[in-house]
Structure 1
Amino acid sequence: MNKRKSYFDSNLALLIIMLMIFSSVSLYSAQKYAQLNVDYSQQQIVWFVISGLIVLVIFYFDFESIMKLTPYIYTFGILLLLFVLLGPESIAPVRKGAKSWIEIRGLGSIQPSEFMKIFLILMLSYILTKHIDKFPVGDIRFDIRLLCKMGLLAALPIGLTLLQNDFGTSLVMAVITMGIILVSGINWKMIASVVTVVVGFICSLVITYLYDPNLLLGLLDGYQLDRINSWLDPFGHGQGIGYQLKQSILAIGSGMTEGKGFNQSDVYIPEAHTDFIFTIVAEEFGFIGASLLISLYFFIIYKIVATAMNSSFFESFICVGVISFLTFHIFQNIGMVIGLIPITGIPLPLMSYGGSSVMATMMGLGLVLNVSLKKKDYMFSNE
């Protein structure tokens, strides 16, 4: 007979809680550089509590119910993105050149594109699972049909987010899409063709920049081009657009091996509590602290991979989407603050301050924890 037993990945939950503690401590130090007199550490704890409640709500649903709700969730996310673009500035203000937020009087603001990342993961997983159920045997015609479906579903939110002038979030959605496509079972020749086109396009942009950067102004605006220039020579632009990156490199280098100690950072970093929180970690806790933080992320991703390996198609694809989301965020954020990658304004998951980012990340991790919580069947169990 079958024996039903419930599991919960308490180790993954513990790693997430450790990351939350790390975030709260780092934000306490970073807030001394903030322009506003706000206790960001305390506010972040509030977002963690709210996110925990969201995870409990996610636990209430089984994945059959989540799958049925997915098209409606995706549609709701698209409507929110449209509202941001079309809404008046009193409700959808422009901040730092991007129109990405919805102001809710008395509650603050939310960034719908952050949640759309998770909604996109669900929708792509839904379409892919439905396709596998309908066409269990691979065929080039079916693969083309699937690739077109997934491309269109991803292009809509990516396009709407680009119209909000939020290139970083659009890039994350594109990476999520590519990550899920890679494990979709689509013919590798087709995937290789798509990758070749993407790599060729990137190479053409690099060659164009080296030949005449001004030719890229049709694709990038002047500010984005200046960002690339400052990335390549941050100290040459250290008094202007490269100031933040220059200060970030100085702060990380000054932390050395053991760091300066908790709340002892002294290199001024604009917006240190948001996208540049890693600089606070590296300066105050040094190479050891930075390595510990990266190790936490590594073990979280490892646990998600292990969860994906023992799940159904829909659940596994969700895990892959969350892995793509987290991995790119971590690589891009840390890469940009050390000068390895151009600055794009992508937050460090659960470390950077921000309610929408925290809640969206916890929604993704909540789905993974729900996968680990699902019932498993054992034949002829004696337990």
Structure 2
Amino acid sequence: MLAAGHAAVDFYQGAVPALVPFLVTGRGYGYVAVSGIVLAATLLSSIVQPLFGLLTDRWRMPWLIPLSMVVAGAGVALGGVTDSYVLTWLAMALSGLGVAAYHPESARLARIASEGGHVRMSWFSLGGTLGFASAPVLVTPLLARWGLDASPFLAVPAVLGAVVTLPTVLALAGGKGTARAAAPVSGRDDWPSFLRLTMVIVFRSVVYVGLSTFVALLMGGGAAGAVALFVLFGGGAVGTVLGGRLAVRWGRVRTMRVAYALAIVAVAGVVLVSGPLAYVFVAASSIALYIPFSLHVTLGQDFLPTRVGTAGGVTLGLAVSVGGLTSPVVGALAEAMTLRTALAFLIAFPALAWLLVRTLKEPALEPA
């Protein structure tokens, strides 16, 4: 049920880039303008997400999970029907606020439900990935048929997610697992390693959000663009589950090193290859970038065993938000040169992530 709720809220992370082609054709927005819309959905989320993590470390707020879903859905629903760019930007910022409020508390409850297991946590992360993947499949046909005026219907997943998740949230919030989570935790926080992991996530986020924002336009928009987004988001589902399995066999850090090395080649293929073969590289990029996704969460929580909410807010939240801060830069480069040339700069970021992962080691946790 937590994975289903994660799918509902991260649907709105995927809905924003799926809206981009319709904002370009329907309102005449340029690359910089639409990248600013993505920035709106991610800027506020990036800033306040760690703050929500600090709050959930101090107070238990399970009620925040269903409320944040509704807020995320309301923002995207309103963004399609506003007449001005400013109101659209503010609506997307509201959606980003809902996403920010969701992740820290949900990551804490997911750790309780998964008992810290890599594979179980990968299933929770898979829910969010499937939410991403379903966005272009639902958004594109809906808006292609009825236009941006139909965007209020996009609030439905948020309402359904809140209804489905609420009983599980209440059960976990009132159960013994929460009492154990609130008790003092053994182990020392390793802030230097956590900060290096955070930079890895930032680099991963820059390349992934950059691809999700512009890959539909790179492939020509329309149906071809929707297919590219579905392949990008759907490949993430494969990578998420694969990451948990590989971590059990190889360990988290080694798995992350291999994944980021493969991501360098895959992202280069997206930029340099055209035609049907480009979709193969889109899928490979998504799989490689999502193999570490759930591993970031559990590794971050193990680096900060006394601040699980903060770790979840940073690792799970930044993974899908902070990259939007650089989207306007990519948009400006695309308008100054070409979109393909601008996206070539993204190849550097999985390489930087790979270099930093090589400095990390598995944390040695003290028994509780």
Q: TM-score, normalised by structure 1?
A: 0.31
- The structure that is strand-richer by fraction is 1
| TM superposition score normalised by structure 2 | 0.32
Of structures 1 and 2, the larger Rg is shown by 1
